[in-house]
Structure 1
Amino acid sequence: MSAPTQTQQTPAGQQQQAAPVALRQIRGIVKQVMSGDSIIVRGQPKGGPPPEKQVNLSNITAPKLARRGNPNVPDSVATNDEPYAWQAREFLRKKLIGREVFFTIEYAPSNERCYGSVYLGKDASGENVAATLIAEGLAEVRRVGIRADNTEHSRLLELEDQAKAAGKGKWDEAGREVSVREVKWSIENPRNFVDSFRGKPVNAVIEHVRDGCTMRAFLLPSYHHVTFMLSGIKCPMFRRDPEDPKKENAEPYAAEAKFFVETRLLQRDVQLVLEGVSNQNILLATALHPNGNITELLLKEGFARCVDWSITSYSQGPAKLRTLERAAKERGARIWKDWTPKDSGIDEKEKEFSGKVIQIVNADAIAVKSANGTIKTVHLSSIRPPRLDDCAFLKEKKMPKPEKNEQGGRPRPLYDIPYMFEAREFLRKKLIGKKVQVNVDYKKPEQAATDTLPAFPERLCATVTSGGVNIADALVSKGLAKVVRHRQDDDSRSAHYDALLAAEQRAIKSAKGVNSKKDIPIHRVADVSGEVSKAKAFLPFLQRAGRSEAVVEYVFGGSRLKLYLPKETCLITFLLAGIECPRGARNGPGGVMKADPYSEEALSLTKDMCMHREVIVEVETIDRAGNFIGWMFVEGCNVSLELVTRGLSKVHFTAQRSKYFQALSEAEEKCKTARTGVWSDYEEPVEVQVVEESERKTQYKTVGITEVTPQLHMYCQVLDASAKLDQLTDKMRSMLISDPPLPGAYQPRRGGFCLSRFTADDQWYRARIEKVESLDKVHVAYIDYGNKEVLPASRLSDLPAEFNTQALYPQAHEFALAFCNVPEDEDYRYDAFQLLCELTANSKFLLNNEYTDAGVEHVTLLRQDDRLDVGKKLVSEGLCTVSKRREKRLSKMVGEYVEEQNKAKKAHLNLWRYGDISADDASEFGYQR
């Protein structure tokens, strides 16, 4: 076979000037068969990547294969196979792929492409591939541009004539139609397509290797052309250069991984197990070759890493993949050469413990009390509670996120986020009071606050099991939690992370919980805590109900709890009746008040008994703050009695009228005798004879009235301390002028002290927050003046330590008028209020404390300039009645007030306009003296 001359026609039949090419003989391995007359041969490597050359078989032409239309080229359309094109390609593929060949180059248009003769084996004595194709009728001999002395061409013509005579291959007219494939270049619904195979292996031929884990293949015998990724792994990739889109940048080991796969799978017969679809509609599959599973081989050799988003699709289970990856990491194979294990920071003794669940902190966190009494908050590893963005129903309806709940306040996550309440209830019913096994997976370090995220303390994340059930897995499988997507290099994750991912996929497929597109559960829960008017309206219902079922939402102290009443769908603050429990640290008029002894022990006992338990309550009454008071039973146990029995509470005098008084008294006496708990320092009282004072004492203070309430209470400032208040206020305002507070930075909390800008004069004053409805409605009371108003949080600021209540005690003192009963009639009460405002305006007064009733000091108030008794004036005008006081020392003063009252009666003033209203205070009207 001679080399072509300069004027010889190319195999395409066109005249072309070509430089003489010396006859070259090359050996190589067939990498790929492009068509029936074109192959790619990989040469033997010499220190670098193996050279590749496309070899077109000289003197023959094979039928052309079908081509896919290029979407990036206008007017590009798909073409069909020419008859026997696929059979020709397949004949060469099965004969040549992976085998050594010898070829001679006769003509080379470029370094990568040439024309020549190809022989099986190490030299030209092997089988001539072109001759075999002609003999099988899968190609025809080229007749243009051939020299007359080309003996090889004559031999090919003879073989072609023989094939024609025998009706082989393309010369078989009867088989021409059935020899053309119906190629399906695209799949309309990839998910349904994958499901149709039901996980059964399908025969395929790998057509192209994009990188180590992404390939294209023809499925047989359907001829679907599919692009797929290997399930569960990711290899280093080739990425487009952003500056030059035609150029690709290879990640480390990307070329090696691609070569590893090409040499084993390219144009090999494999079986694909179709397992899923990626977000880009690329199929997920496992390629099975008779010699092994390429997914596992890539991991073993360090060419790939496990990926969470597709590992659950791997049909043979993710555990083996994780094991192979871990072994490659430990060996430092290839992509893991710089990998070093991270220290979890968990002591071996802390990695595993057991305990009783005493609280459901959140939909993904619980409080566990171990045998030694230690309480640890444990977060379930690798999951998080539901969010609004997770709800499939809201996504489908394109509903906006609620900025306020139905009551107009800020959203309450437990009730306003779909399925958050269901998640909490699942944990409560399954775990509260139960023993669990905790296996710590990792610790999440403390996180400082940022502009967008709040601060988080260190969190202990663990796998929690109860009765052999993984609680996180159970939550996720019911659609009541979502799996956290960790970074690929983040090993801090659940030990059962793959099982969690699989559970999430099952929940999505079965449309459970947040994945459901049906109507979401709605919880319209009314919070009547601290709402006096609502509590009063609700009280009769609970009293008539007798015993009511409730769930303890939170325990504030030993005798103070927050309850959820499922039947009434409301939240109430509940106080245990009949006992006086030690109180914890709290805000008081003078700042933070210290906790009472044994308050922590009482709180711990009540939490252990009641927290998140289903209880029975008997409501008796409410207090002035709208808190319900009554008896609580947990599994038949009276909580009040249990606290008294443990010496963690005293019996309150109000218990005398209850049927539990005897049991409470007996338990208290036992604790006194044993000196238990709050009675540890108890000493028997020494009987002291009390001699009642017979003379009224006077110790007048000069005061100014700053505020009067419709209940005829007054707020006064002692004038001796007014100079100190003025000095503190001036200093405070000067500081705020030089360093003004940032609007909106202050977060108001009920009971906290703050600075408030008064609406009337736009000046800053010290205040205390009484109630927070929303950031636009914050109820504040000015502690130095007694007046109140409702303001937005933007007009509030933090109270610096140098101006707090320890620096100067609140100057507004609340008093009531001694010996005066406030009128029950609203009109007369308003008239009394108006007169009191007139009498106390712009004057100084002498104040004397007479007695204390219901926690409020009752005083007599004399105007300094004319010694007018303000209370006596209200009585003389018939706007107040005289209260009955039995103290001997006050009998003379009471007599004077009664004398003024009698004068008002005779004159029929105001209350006495229609006669003697005290006539109803007779025995026949039920009055008892």
Structure 2
Amino acid sequence: MSQSGIVQGVPSGDCLAVLCLSAGGPPRELLVVIDGVRAPRLGRVDFSAGFSSNDRASADRPWAWLAREWLRTRAIGRRVSFTPSGELPAASTDGAQPPRVFASVMLQPRTAEASSLESALGVDLALALAAAGMVETSGKAPADEVVAAVAAARDAKQGIFADPDAPGALRNVAKPQVGSAMELFTALKGRSVAAQVADIRGGCQLRVVLPQDDHIGLTVALAGVSAPGYRKSQDSGDYLPEPFAKEAKFFLESAIRDRDSTLQLLGADRQNYIGTLTYGGRDVGLQLIKVGLAKYLPWSGARLSLAAQEQYVAAEKAARAQRLRIWSLPEEVAAAAASAAAEAASAVAIANASSVSASLAAGSTSGATPKEVDGKVVEVVSATTLKVADKKTVHLIALSSVRAPNARGADVAWADAGKEFVRKTVIGSRVHATLDYVKEATTVKDSDKVLPRKAFYTVVTSSKKNLAVMLVKKGYATVIPHGRDGDRSPDYDDLLEAESAAKSTRAGVHGKVSAAPELRLNDLSGKGDKNRKGALKQLHSTVTRRAQVLDAVVEYVLAPARLKVRLPKEGVVVVIAIAGIRVPRDTDAEPAILEAALGYTREHLMQRQIKVRLEAFVDASSTLTATVLYEGNKNLGHELVKRGWASVMRRSAREMSEGGEELISAEDAAKAAKAGIWKNYDAEAEAAREAE
């Protein structure tokens, strides 16, 4: 029985991929092998160029590409009718390989108005191929006309019967070396190259051949697009289609398979190249989004021009509003509602967030996920997590697509080194953070532990450098291998390039563990024994005898006038109290004053480089007192006193090596201004008490 369909692919010079439309069901794809003739076999193309080698690539037979191109240019997108003479079952059950049939095939005319009987009936493809010298006879007895045409072509050394050693008989297929993906991308970057889509792998992942560039085979993911695909079932092991996966694949196959298209590469990740494909002047990714068969993928779309990004976003918005295809799914409707609710909750969280001072005093963050944060880094929690204060509050910022070494594992030294690198680079500096993606709260498998909701950002320093890229290049972090459509940093290519450079130089975690810098510090900050007390006394004696001003790093702000500091040259960690002053306790002052004082000290000194001049060792409490200088030559004690957040212990102040009188003058000025704790200060009453 005769059948008909549209040619949507040409695998070889004697085979067509035909889509048979049916009014009673979904379209059915068949591989139709033309009866009675055989074209030279095409070799296999390795589509993992630059990433790996699957060792399945094989050479063509002479003139195989010529025969295939002859048939492709004449049949692709055309209607054919065919009468099957036999059928073989599909090679797989997952839909990847359709059934094969052997048939005589007629290529139908392009228009209904035929000028001759031959064009009205169509073109016998077996005879046309034979006359052009593109096939030889094969299989069951071919028609006499076909036999004669093949004989004539052979005698004339036409087509595939030409000299097999002649130039052009074989494709010059390049085989890029494994690991050369970035080199290949760099060579093709920015060019619009001729391409043919050999296969649609599901979703928006394409296997592409570049005929004018040594027939390189690439696996390309469409930039800015996430389409439904096939997922492996954990139960059966079969690949099952996601909702609308078949429709998306059909759309792509009908539009671009084996068509002359234009590819522009925009990036590369660990497994695929990323780019755009146009056919007939149309952006294929944009068309997928317009018809509701794909979503806009921001991390990948960041590689597109701003104008293209706006088009993609607008197309998704329109498709979502009309609930086209994937947007009609209940889970997508629910996800859209959840996203809107999350944005509203974030706006409320920002509106109700504590002030910067209150947040710093409490050590808390807003819990909001603003799309952009422009502020100052007030704390480095780890190499990949920061606290950033904007004009209103403090936000917790995690770097996108990178992972720092485990601070409790074998790489603890590298974890410390990475944190120290970030501290030196950005603490106290302004940064700009842009939201890339959010991971919702999840429960750890086989555990009751719940991982909180977390927002991931791209952080750009004041010198316009990507902090994550800097970190990876130093070997202090590694790049996270995301899933096929997993959210990731828009600068993922730069991260991979930085990681490759770090590996080549064996930097950081990619080198020897023994090469890790080790901070050998004697921690004297806790409540220890007599040995600790003796060590503190010895430190005080040595330093004060030399009248040294020490370089230090604030590890943590314990209270407005009490700091845990690291003294690198001395190799110790100690707690110091600011000399000559006293900050009221909770029972002595209003909470707002204590909050302001603690917030100020944390904002200006947390993890900062400071200068320390030791003053005294208080034997009773085993405490070192000191003058602390920061941000150039600011005196922390003086700043707390002049704002009315601390009082001066005048006897102690007068015993200080220097700066004591300035503290007393600052307190007198604060009293006169009735600042802070002195708001109810009565100078006359104070004088009367002193007279008694």
TM value normalised by structure 1: 0.56
1:700-757 deviation line (CA, Å, top 9, x unaligned): xxxxxxxxxxxxxxxxxxxxxxxxxxxxxxxxxxxxxxxxxxxxxxxxxxxxxxxxxx
User: For 2:279, which of 289, 303, 306 is the aligned residue?
Assistant: 289
Report the Cα distance in structure 2 between the residues aligned to 1:77 and 1:670, rounded to whole angstroms: 84
- Bigger radius of gyration: 1
What is the CA distance between 1:85 and its match in structure 2?
3.2
Q: Which residue of 2 aligns with 1:561?
A: 563
Please say if 1:261 is aligned against 2:249: no
Q: Which residue of 2 aligns with 1:346?
A: 346
Q: Which residue of 2 aligns with 1:880?
A: none
Alignment of 1:334-733 (within 5 A): 334-337=325-328, 338-339=332-333, 340-341=336-337, 342=339, 343=341, 344=343, 345-347=345-347, 350=351, 357=376, 359-360=378-379, 362-363=381-382, 364-366=385-387, 368=389, 370=391, 376-380=393-397, 383=400, 387-389=404-406, 400-402=410-412, 417-431=416-430, 498-501=489-492, 504-511=495-502, 517=511, 519-530=515-526, 531-543=532-544, 544-584=546-586, 599-600=594-595, 602-604=597-599, 606-607=601-602, 610-624=605-619, 625-634=621-630, 635-647=632-644, 648-658=646-656, 660-669=659-668, 677-679=676-678, 680=680, 683-684=685-686
Please say if 1:90 is aligned against 2:41: no
Q: Contact 1:644/1:651 (CA < 8 Å) preserved in 2?
A: no
Please say if 1:332 is aligned against 2:334: no
Q: Which residue of 1 aligns with 2:93?
A: none
1:305-331 deviation line (CA, Å, top 9, x unaligned): 355786667799994555654554444
SS of alignment partner, residue 424 of structure 2: helix
Q: Contact 1:463/1:470 (CA < 8 Å) preserved in 2?
A: no
Amino acid at match of 2:346: I
User: For 1:43, which of 20, 27, 35 is the aligned residue?
Assistant: 20
Q: Contact 1:41/1:54 (CA < 8 Å) preserved in 2?
A: yes
Q: Contact 1:301/1:334 (CA < 8 Å) preserved in 2?
A: yes
Which is further off, 209-218 or 417-426?
209-218
Alignment of 1:763-802 (within 5 A): none
Amino acid at match of 1:388: P
Which is further off, 595-604 or 323-332?
595-604
Q: Which residue of 2 aligns with 1:774?
A: none
What is the CA distance between 1:198 and its match in structure 2?
3.6
Q: Contact 2:400/2:456 (CA < 8 Å) preserved in 1?
A: no
Please say if 1:236 is aligned against 2:228: yes
Q: Contact 2:403/2:480 (CA < 8 Å) preserved in 1?
A: no
User: For 1:116, which of 89, 104, 114 is the aligned residue?
Assistant: 104
What is the CA distance between 1:135 and its match in structure 2?
1.8
What is the CA distance between 1:385 and its match in structure 2?
8.6
Report the Cα distance in structure 2 between the residues aligned to 1:377 and 1:186, rounded to whole angstroms: 49
Q: Contact 1:528/1:571 (CA < 8 Å) preserved in 2?
A: yes
Q: Which residue of 2 aligns with 1:213?
A: 204
Q: Contact 1:473/1:499 (CA < 8 Å) preserved in 2?
A: no
What is the CA distance between 1:60 and its match in structure 2?
3.6
SS of alignment partner, residue 584 of structure 2: coil
Report the Cα distance in structure 1 between the residues aligned to 2:472 and 2:623, rounded to whole angstroms: 40
Amino acid at match of 1:654: S
What is the CA distance between 1:448 and its match in structure 2?
10
What is the CA distance between 1:420 and its match in structure 2?
0.7
Q: Contact 1:550/1:565 (CA < 8 Å) preserved in 2?
A: yes
Q: 1:313 to 1:511 in 2, by over 3 A?
A: farther
Q: Contact 1:205/1:268 (CA < 8 Å) preserved in 2?
A: yes
Q: Contact 1:476/1:483 (CA < 8 Å) preserved in 2?
A: no
What is the CA distance between 1:334 and its match in structure 2?
1.8
How many residues are aligned here? 614
Q: 1:565 to 1:595 in 2, by over 3 A?
A: farther
Report the Cα distance in structure 1 between the residues aligned to 2:386 and 2:398, rounded to whole angstroms: 9
Report the Cα distance in structure 1 between the residues aligned to 2:139 and 2:665, rounded to whole angstroms: 121
Which is further off, 231-240 or 597-606?
597-606
Report the Cα distance in structure 1 between the residues aligned to 2:25 and 2:70, rounded to whole angstroms: 32
Report the Cα distance in structure 1 between the residues aligned to 2:653 and 2:208, rounded to whole angstroms: 84
Report the Cα distance in structure 1 between the residues aligned to 2:292 and 2:32, rounded to whole angstroms: 34
What is the CA distance between 1:423 and its match in structure 2?
1.0
- Flag the structure with more relative contact order, 1 or 2, with Cα contacts below 8 A and sequence separation at least 6: 2
Report the Cα distance in structure 2 between the residues aligned to 1:292 and 1:446, rounded to whole angstroms: 40
Q: Which residue of 1 aligns with 2:94?
A: none
Amino acid at match of 2:125: V
Report the Cα distance in structure 1 between the residues aligned to 2:454 and 2:224, rounded to whole angstroms: 29
Report the Cα distance in structure 2 between the residues aligned to 1:429 and 1:236, rounded to whole angstroms: 45
1:474-526 deviation line (CA, Å, top 9, x unaligned): 86687667788999999xx9xxx744545534533443986764844433333
Alignment of 1:135-284 (within 5 A): 135-141=131-137, 145=141, 153-173=143-163, 179-181=169-171, 188-189=178-179, 191=181, 194-195=184-185, 197-199=187-189, 200-220=191-211, 222-241=214-233, 248-274=239-265, 279=270, 281=271, 283-284=273-274
Q: Which residue of 1 aligns with 2:96?
A: none
Report the Cα distance in structure 2 between the residues aligned to 1:144 and 1:437, rounded to whole angstroms: 72
Q: 1:623 to 1:382 in 2, by over 3 A?
A: same
Report the Cα distance in structure 2 between the residues aligned to 1:172 and 1:448, rounded to whole angstroms: 67
Amino acid at match of 1:547: V
Report the Cα distance in structure 1 between the residues aligned to 2:400 and 2:225, rounded to whole angstroms: 22
What is the CA distance between 1:138 and its match in structure 2?
1.9
Report the Cα distance in structure 1 between the residues aligned to 2:517 and 2:637, rounded to whole angstroms: 36
Identity of aligned residues (%): 25
Q: 1:439 to 1:583 in 2, by over 3 A?
A: farther
Amino acid at match of 2:70: F
Report the Cα distance in structure 1 between the residues aligned to 2:161 and 2:441, rounded to whole angstroms: 78
Report the Cα distance in structure 1 between the residues aligned to 2:235 and 2:372, rounded to whole angstroms: 56
Q: Contact 1:550/1:617 (CA < 8 Å) preserved in 2?
A: yes
Alignment of 1:846-925 (within 5 A): none
1:328-358 deviation line (CA, Å, top 9, x unaligned): 4444332222332422213377469999758
Amino acid at match of 1:548: L
Amino acid at match of 2:533: V
Q: Contact 2:299/2:489 (CA < 8 Å) preserved in 1?
A: no
Q: Contact 2:261/2:280 (CA < 8 Å) preserved in 1?
A: yes
Amino acid at match of 1:511: A
Q: Contact 1:563/1:573 (CA < 8 Å) preserved in 2?
A: yes
Q: Contact 2:375/2:432 (CA < 8 Å) preserved in 1?
A: no
Q: 1:552 to 1:95 in 2, by over 3 A?
A: same
What is the CA distance between 1:81 and its match in structure 2?
4.0
Q: Which residue of 2 aligns with 1:877?
A: none
Amino acid at match of 1:39: L
SS of alignment partner, residue 628 of structure 1: strand
Gaps of 5+ in 2: 47-54, 89-98, 113-118, 352-369, 527-531
Report the Cα distance in structure 2 between the residues aligned to 1:217 and 1:448, rounded to whole angstroms: 40
Report the Cα distance in structure 2 between the residues aligned to 1:65 and 1:689, rounded to whole angstroms: 109
Q: Contact 1:240/1:249 (CA < 8 Å) preserved in 2?
A: yes
TM value normalised by structure 2: 0.72
Q: Which residue of 2 aligns with 1:795?
A: none
Report the Cα distance in structure 1 between the residues aligned to 2:241 and 2:404, rounded to whole angstroms: 39
Report the Cα distance in structure 2 between the residues aligned to 1:503 and 1:551, rounded to whole angstroms: 32
Q: 1:446 to 1:577 in 2, by over 3 A?
A: farther
